[in-house]
Chain A
């Protein structure tokens, strides 16, 4: 009888092990938590990567996407959304995941080339057909009677790029006069009738709801709107100066480790730097960082003088604290 007991116990233990091993047989799945306008980019890229990974590792990978305002997405990851990788609009949001969520190391940005930004972009204007308000540069959108559409910098990474682009322009135009820059940005935001939570929502407000005279948009978002609406419905206006937006990517180490997806997550992000990844970025109107691929798409991107956040604002941490923290400059000027 005791031997029977032992046999049954062994069977139970084996069954337990089988049960625990069952989930391991499933295809590998990644969750990419990204910002608003990258839907189309990652739809195309995910398919390409899955094909590449299956050919290389004989393993099927399914990448799920989550999109929203970059700041909001970062908070969601900190609050427990199981992102294997994040591809957000700005480095500060990933820093927050590292600092508050403790989900990846502080030096995450040095792990991939170009400060972990596989592609770049900038901020341009999207105006109505024929540019009826004659908007050519930043000064034109701060004039009374011009309605400007831009999302909320509290929730949207793109909106923070918009804001800093305007501020940087005003600084340059005024010889680094902070007061004049503040006045300029205040006047600009007086022209903003509605704040969406993300860049895609702002595009909807401008394009589909027909609100506003100008949309401050990611360059890729502006070109995508032109492409989808067809020529002649809206026009892209490139200002004299804009900001170099460097949307970063990172593996969320603790989540990927817990999921057993670290290797594939790392490969996923590295593939963004491959020729195919860069080509997909270019096709989706992101500026490739690989010079060879960048050259291929050079004609589709207008020449514009670009400044970096580090040069003008002393880095994202400082810019965030000064302008976008609770009670910061944005709160002060927008409440007026």
Chain B
């Protein structure tokens, strides 16, 4: 021990001994002090224990108390154990459509402002593995039930979904409506059903690198959301989609490639054709079947598809081949074929990662943090072709009028998207569509130029 410290200690001991001799306590006093100390000790222990019990009680209450939360993913109500969850969300899209040329094809939509989608969303989970989703749409001045389904989530690899939802065919169609990079989807979406009612098995396997869906559906007309069915025949649709590198650090991590196939027998009537009308991305009709034509037999769909995202860049490509037996008057069960493909490219200029969903801005705009959000430039090219035989025959037997419906539409589009945050974006698109045929005298329909804008809030 340090000598100075030793001297100090010796001095203290000597002082203590002297004090003790002068102020020695009686035994009774010591006993009393001990009792008081014990009493104080007990009081402190009781207070500490009471605090412990209060904390335990608060923790137990927290476990039993349902939670209400709100954030960029909507409003959530959750039971204490999370086995019951309900999300309230919504999408509002306020669009405007402008056609700079005054020679827009006949029958088209006029320049206007419109509420393209107004969709409250209610979805949730009961008992951990029973899911549901309900989404009506009040957009375009009509009320349509877009999604209404229940899902039994037995396993990540095996789910059963029944109700109305997007059938597993078109890749861009399967993209969430709030997440599309363009205001309107491209030409291949014409050949994919929008929503349909049926039952589907699905899931993902191999560490989520392979997903599948296979289902039986009423068999809606392409690009349609009709609720009912017009015949007893059903469509069987299936899709496989692989993302083989998704779990690694490879530059191919964002690659997804798949194929979808559908087959069924569709039967229409002269009064209810069960056939689609095809629109440009500007939402103007460029192909309609002749009056009296109707679906009359087998139809099939085949769609190879892929996307690839690396850093701020993305690419989405798909091809859909759709064939359908069609009759009109004496012309029975003709093969009607249409093919469409598109390539979409994306570049998030502000550097965020591109993906199948909207970019998540690094510097989101909010009332408290006025970040600039994320800016994305997009471009696409797509073609839809109708087989020539559809226009063959006389005015009473041909499936489509070559003087009113185009044989091919070719769309080139560019756009810019400004994502303020995960909940709000502004989109500006310009699309130009050229046609083969479709005008009187065998001429081509005039080129369609469309400028679309969108302000979207989703939560």
Which B residues from 214 to 228 make CB contacts under 8 A with A?
Answer: 214-216
Asked whether B264 lies within 8 Å of A197 as measured between CB atoms, the reply is: no
CB of A305 within 8 Å of the partner chain: no
Once A15-B201, A19-B154 are accepted as A-B contacts, the answer to whether A211 and B265 lie under 8 Å apart by CB is no
CB of A73 within 8 Å of the partner chain: no
Contact of A211 among B46, B201, B214, B236 (CB under 8 A): B46
Contact of A5 among B50, B56, B236 (CB under 8 A): B236
Q: How far is the CA of A22 from the CA of B264 in the complex (A)?
A: 30
Asked whether B160 lies within 8 Å of A1 as measured between CB atoms, the reply is: no
A7 to chain B, nearest CB (A): 9
Asked whether B48 lies within 8 Å of A19 as measured between CB atoms, the reply is: no
B164 to chain A, nearest CB (A): 18
A229 to chain B, nearest CB (A): 18
Contact with B along A1-38 (1 / 0, CB 8 A): 11011001100100110010011000000000000000
Q: Which residues of B contact A212 (CB under 8 A)?
A: 42
Q: Which residues of A contact B199 (CB under 8 A)?
A: 12
Asked whether B160 lies within 8 Å of A193 as measured between CB atoms, the reply is: no
How many residues of chain A get a CB closer than 8 Å to chain B's CBs?
A: 23
B137 to chain A, nearest CB (A): 29
Q: Which residues of A contact B298 (CB under 8 A)?
A: 1
Asked whether A9 lies within 8 Å of B234 as measured between CB atoms, the reply is: yes
Task: Using CB atoms, name the residue of chain B closest to A11.
Answer: B214
Q: Which residues of B contact A5 (CB under 8 A)?
A: 233-234, 236, 263-265
Q: Which residues of B contact A12 (CB under 8 A)?
A: 199, 201, 214-216, 236
Q: How far is the CA of A303 from the CA of B53 in the complex (A)?
A: 35
Q: Which residues of B contact A197 (CB under 8 A)?
A: 53, 56-57
CB of A210 within 8 Å of the partner chain: yes
Once A147-B42, A194-B50, A211-B45 are accepted as A-B contacts, the answer to whether A9 and B201 lie under 8 Å apart by CB is no
Q: Which residues of B contact A193 (CB under 8 A)?
A: 42, 46
CB of B158 within 8 Å of the partner chain: yes
Contact with B along A172-199 (1 / 0, CB 8 A): 0000000000000000000001101100
Q: What would be 24 A-B contacts, judged by CB atoms less than 8 Å apart?
A: A1-B297, A1-B298, A2-B265, A5-B233, A5-B263, A5-B264, A12-B201, A12-B214, A12-B216, A15-B201, A16-B160, A19-B160, A22-B154, A22-B155, A23-B154, A193-B46, A194-B46, A196-B53, A197-B53, A201-B56, A205-B49, A209-B48, A209-B49, A211-B46
4 closest residue pairs by CB, A with B: A8-B236, A193-B46, A1-B298, A211-B45
State the B residues within 8 Å of A (CB): 42, 45-46, 48-50, 52-53, 56-57, 154-155, 158, 160, 199, 201, 214-216, 233-234, 236, 263-265, 297-298
Known: A12-B215, A16-B201. 9 other contacts (CB 8 A): A5-B233, A5-B265, A12-B201, A22-B158, A147-B42, A194-B46, A197-B57, A201-B56, A210-B45
